Amino acid sequence: MKPRLINIALLLALIVGLMSPGVPGQYRRIRDRDYERDRGRRDRVETVYCESGDGKRHWCSEGIGGRVSLVRQRSGSRCTQGRTWGVDRAGIWVDRGCRADFEIRH
């Protein structure tokens, strides 16, 4: 009976670990797709998730090389370009609890 209880406890610990919000500054690629522009030109569009889970500044998606826009705010804290999110040479940055999906057009 003890080995079964240990296995159940390990399984529950694994599930709880997978459900946790993750480390501060989490970055996750959501999807890549091609975007058809006028005149038949195609841009590659990448959507990424970035968060400032601890209220401090974090960078995500280094080496962007494209136009960035916020497409979906996921936090209760306001995401304001230039104040709580932006883009610099290091990549997209978020600050003060901003969590959002960002679209990068290459």
Residue 19 pLDDT class (50, 70, 90 cuts):
very low
Residue range 36-68, pLDDT digits in tens: 555 556 678 889 999 999 999 999 976 677 899
The domain spans of the chain are: 22-105
Give, as one character, the DSSP assignment of residue 8.
H
The neighbour count for residue 27, using CB atoms within 10 Å, is 19
- Rounded CA-CA distance 91/8 in Å is 42
Size of the chain, expressed as the number of residues it contains: 106
Q: Quote the pLDDT of residue 61.
A: 75
Q: Which residue type occupies 84?
A: T
CA distances from 40 to 35, 43, 47, 70, 105 (A): 10, 10, 22, 25, 16
Token pair, residue 15, equals 């599930």
Query: What pLDDT sits at residue 100?
Result: 97
Nearest to 99 by CA among 64, 82, 75, 81: 75
Q: Which two tokens stand for residue 83?
A: 């104040």
pLDDT of residue 29: 61
Helix, strand, coil abundance in the chain, percent, nearest 5? 20, 45, 35
